[in-house]
Structure 1
Amino acid sequence: YPNVDFYSGLIYQAMGFPMDMFTVLFAIPRTAGWLAHYRELLDQDARIARPRQTYSGAPVRDYVPLTERA
């Protein structure tokens, strides 16, 4: 499925922007998000959220070579 850049490109082309400018025009709206992520990285009090997970699958299993698999 095409993302928003596909449709943005069509609009930029219809508006007469040169194709060389498309990359810049795609990046400019994203800078707010990039800056927000950067500020989060600088925050000393921020913690990385790691969900607690417990593996409940099969215990240790023997390795079966590819040639012997069904």
Structure 2
Amino acid sequence: MPTILRIKGYRFYFYSHEPNEPPHIHVDKDSRSLKAWLEPVSLARNIGFRPHEINGILKLIEENRTALLEAWHEYFS
């Protein structure tokens, strides 16, 4: 489970056993978790985050999308 970024208490990572899915990122904070697609940035699933927090996380993903995609492609290629 490589961690790619840590921002504002959020941990951005992906699982090493998901190479057959489109590029995506998992985000955890405390006991909450979400999965977001990277192309285009959109919510795939959410466990526990409130709507305003989801929007903030998606904005962080958008702002760091290039680095996240580079990490994804580097790891899975």
Bigger strand share: 2
What's the TM-score, normalizing by structure 1? 0.28
Q: Which has the higher contact order (CA 8 A, sep 6+)?
A: 2
